[in-house]
């Protein structure tokens, strides 16, 4: 009798586990992307360099885990864990975080999605459909490195799409807990007792999207704290970005662009600044090829330190998962500006920089 009961319990547990597994799906996915780049004027002496980029070539390399569970009544639970990789050395990106690209859990339904954890904020999302180059090595992320790294630690987020109308927001209690790794790590962990503004961040987005065209606007406000990067060493110091972005389709051809207005209220050492970053691009597929062209300009108020960029890219699909590509670009620095064409690179102050690159990308 005892054995019969044990067998029945084991069978019921097995059936319950099978039912749960039938409603749960976990996906392992990733991108492996690298290339070789050659750039001029990497210093004031006018030297050139040829290298394997450490950040990204066409799309940032990554490995991720994504899971969903059907909760019934139109609800789903989900999680995303996504690691960023530097293929030149095999090291982790995003300030050395294990899951620096995304690490969050949430729930979604017809009313939208609520997400908790490290996540892409609305500045990141606002440019996804309008920036034809995306997080390319030569792109507007070279002019403003925050754009392809617009993620928030310790955040709660909401995103909803209602018949094409898009609404989204994030609120971070401590926007960036890492102290190393460049623009993806600015040492502002936040969650400080007695200072409700320390390292807080709020972002918002409103827009309308169809297959034929789309328009959105976003808002992003960063607060600082003691020791934070970028001159935001007090919770009263802020960095604000306001964007307007749009795309329109002419058959298979996409035209996308926008403007990013930035207003930084930093400490006395760094100083305040205002700038507008304009970008406009076109993307056109033909056969197994896709051609992209983008121009951009950052105009800094009351300063001669402006910068202009021109980039062209051609991608060939060898299969549905494997792509080869090449790109050429030029970054013109004015005044004392020293914006490198390649994200994370160097250039002599006031010098123009030309670059060419080839690469290989595989999705899995």
Beta strands in 99-236 (DSSP E): 102-109, 112-120, 151-162, 165-172, 201-209, 213-223
Please name every residue paired with 68 in a beta bridge, in sequence order, or none if there are none: 25, 78
Residue 208 has pLDDT above 90, yes or no: yes
pLDDT confidence of residue 194: 86
Q: What is the pLDDT of residues 265-288, one digit of tens each?
A: 999 999 999 999 999 999 999 999
pLDDT at 304 exceeding the cut of 60:
yes
Question: Between residues 237 and 1, which one has the greater pLDDT?
Answer: 237
Q: What is the pTM of this model?
A: 0.89
Task: Grade residue 119 by pLDDT with cuts at 50, 70 and 90.
Answer: very high
**What's the pLDDT at 193?**
85
pLDDT digits (tens, 9 = 90+) for 314-342: 999 999 999 999 999 999 999 999 999 99
Strand pairing category for 151-162 and 352-363: unpaired
pLDDT at 8: 40
Terminal CA-CA length for the chain = 51
What is the residue-averaged pLDDT of the chain?
92
Angle at 342 between CA 338 and CA 348, to 5 degrees: 30
Nearest to 309 by CA among 350, 349, 353: 353
- The confidence score (pLDDT) of residue 181 equals 66
d(CA 291, CA 306) in angstroms, rounded, equals 27
Looking at the chain, the whole-number percentage of residues with pLDDT higher than 70 is 93
The stretch 300-308 carries a mean pLDDT of 95
What is the average per-residue pLDDT within 193-199?
91
């Amino acid at each position: 009798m005892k054995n019969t009961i044990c067998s029945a319990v084991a069978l019921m547990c097995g059936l319950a586990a099978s039912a749960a597994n039938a409603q749960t799906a976990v996906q392992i996915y990733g991108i492996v992307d690298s290339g070789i780049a050659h750039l001029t004027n990497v210093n004031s002496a006018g030297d050139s360099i040829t290298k394997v980029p450490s950040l990204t070539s066409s799309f940032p390399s990554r490995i991720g885990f994504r899971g969903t569970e059907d909760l019934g009544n139109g609800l789903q639970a989900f999680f995303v864990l996504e690691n960023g990789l530097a293929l030149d050395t095999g090291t982790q990106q995003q300030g050395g975080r294990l899951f620096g690209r995304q690490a969050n859990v949430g729930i979604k339904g017809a009313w939208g999605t609520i997400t908790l954890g490290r996540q892409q904020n609305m500045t990141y999302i606002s440019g996804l459909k309008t920036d034809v180059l995306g997080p390319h090595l030569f792109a507007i992320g070279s002019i403003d490195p925050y754009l392809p790294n617009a993620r928030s630690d310790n955040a709660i987020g909401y995103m909803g799409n209602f018949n094409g109308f898009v609404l989204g927001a994030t609120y971070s209690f401590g926007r960036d807990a890492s102290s190393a790794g460049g623009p993806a790590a600015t040492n502002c962990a936040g969650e400080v007792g007695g200072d409700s503004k320390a390292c807080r961040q709020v972002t918002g987005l409103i827009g309308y999207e169809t297959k034929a065209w789309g328009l959105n606007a976003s808002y992003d406000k960063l607060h600082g704290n003691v020791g934070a990067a970028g001159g935001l060493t007090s919770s009263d110091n802020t960095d604000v970005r306001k964007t307007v972005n749009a795309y329109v389709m002419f058959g298979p051809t996409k035209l996308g662009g926008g403007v990013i207005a930035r207003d930084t209220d930093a400490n006395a050492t760094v100083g305040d600044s205002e700038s507008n970053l304009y970008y406009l691009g076109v993307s056109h597929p033909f056969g197994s090829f896709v051609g992209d062209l983008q121009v951009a300009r950052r105009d800094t108020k009351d300063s001669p330190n402006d910068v202009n960029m021109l980039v062209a890219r051609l991608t060939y699909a060898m299969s549905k998962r494997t792509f080869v590509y090449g790109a050429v670009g030029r970054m013109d620095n004015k005044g004392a500006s020293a914006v490198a064409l390649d994200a994370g690179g160097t250039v002599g102050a006031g010098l123009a920089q030309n670059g060419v690159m080839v690469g290989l990308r595989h999705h899995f």
